[in-house]
Amino acid sequence: MKKILKRVLVATMALSMGLASASCSSKKSITVEKGKLSMATNAYFPPYEYYEGNKIIGIDAEIAEAVAKKLGLELVIWDVEFDSIIAGVSSNKYDIGMAGMTVTEDRKKAVNFSKTYATGIQSIIVKEGSEITDIDVLSAGTYKVGVQQGTTGDIYMTDDLGEDRVVRYSKGNDAVLALSTDKVDAVVIDNEPAKSFVAANDGLKILETPYAVEDYAMCLNKNNTELLEKIDKALEELTADGTIKAIIEKYIPSNG
Ligand code: GLN
């Protein structure tokens, strides 16, 4: 019985080794589509990703472009819902997710993260004259909070305030519009998009005390460690030569 089992195992191993070498000889691509780096993002998150005409630009788009260039790949950007990015990357639909995405322990269970390339802050937006002055006042009341679905703002607020007090929107700007029209009392969202949304909508302000400080990174499929190593090396080089700092400063001039 044992012998049979062993033989079956050996045969299975031989078969899988054969398959592996067959795929090696056909030069298996380390990206979903050969010669391309496909990036999933949600392009309503200025200044990290947003539309200028029909082109997606921003910090993430430019850093991804610089990384792709180093890897000899052509960057292709897909604009999808934020909370479908991780599923798309783990099912090999896209090579990377890059969307001002915060590194969290929970997400690490589904995807790998590259080296961090930027810091994010969760901020609280309220209407000017609001009685909400900080997170404690917000938490203690019965206020409703608008968030972008599936973001860390959503996760933290749902944990802290409970399901009933959180209203989810697919785009950050929709949450901000809900605040302007009194459908919610506050919005919790990343600081840089918060600044753009507040600048574009009268009568809103960002509370001075940040709610959480976070690291942004690209997410990749757990099995694609080869691409992860290459991307990390590229990010290291782009950090060392000042490219990343210059890109961030271009979009956030006060940053440095
Ligand atoms: N940093 C937040 C997160 O990762 C929001 C990102 C986003 O909305 N694009 O959840």
pLDDT tens, position by position, 185-210: 999 999 999 999 999 999 999 999 87
CB 110 within 8 A of CB 222: yes
* CB distance 169 to ligand 1 below 6 Å: no
Instruction: Name the pairing type of β-strands 166-169 and 204-206.
Output: unpaired
pLDDT of res. 8: 46
Instruction: Name the pairing type of β-strands 118-127 and 111-113.
Output: unpaired
Tell whether domain 36-117+217-251 is in CATH 3.40.190.10: yes
CB 51 within 8 A of CB 43: yes
Q: Please, where in the chain does CATH 3.40.190.10 lie? A: 36-117+217-251, 120-213
Residue of 42, 44, 81, 82 with the most ligand 1 atoms within 8 Å of its CB, for mutation: 82
Residue of 77, 148, 215 with the most ligand 1 atoms within 8 Å of its CB, for mutation: 148
Q: Which residues contact 118 (CB under 8 A, 6 or more apart)?
A: 48, 59, 100, 215, 216, 244, 248
Smallest Cα–Cα separation from 67: which of 219, 229, 235? Answer: 235
Residues 95, 32: Cα–Cα separation, whole Å: 6
pLDDT of res. 27: 67
pLDDT of res. 4: 46
pLDDT of res. 26: 55
* CB distance 41 to ligand 1 below 6 Å: no
Residues 166, 143: Cα–Cα separation, whole Å: 9
* CB distance 217 to ligand 1 below 6 Å: no
Helix (H) or strand (E) holding 5: helix 2-25
pLDDT of res. 254: 74
Ligand 1: which residue has its CA nearest to atom 10?
Answer: 151
* CB distance 101 to ligand 1 below 6 Å: yes
Tell me the average confidence (pLDDT) per consecutive run of 10 residues in the chain, 256 residues long: 45 46 60 97 96 97 98 98 97 98 97 97 97 94 95 96 96 95 97 94 92 95 98 98 97 75
DSSP string, 60-100: HHHHHHHHHHHTT-EEEEEE--GGGHHHHHHTTS-SEE-SS
Tell whether domain 120-213 is in CATH 3.40.50.1390: no
Distance 146 CA to ligand 1 centre (A): 14
Distance 70 CA to ligand 1 centre (A): 26
* CB distance 100 to ligand 1 below 6 Å: yes
pLDDT of res. 211: 85
- Which tokens sit at 180? 């302007």
Residues 180, 34: Cα–Cα separation, whole Å: 46
pLDDT of res. 18: 44
pLDDT of res. 10: 45
* CB distance 99 to ligand 1 below 6 Å: yes
Residues 109, 251: Cα–Cα separation, whole Å: 32
Number of the ligand 1 atom closest to the C-alpha atom of 216: 1
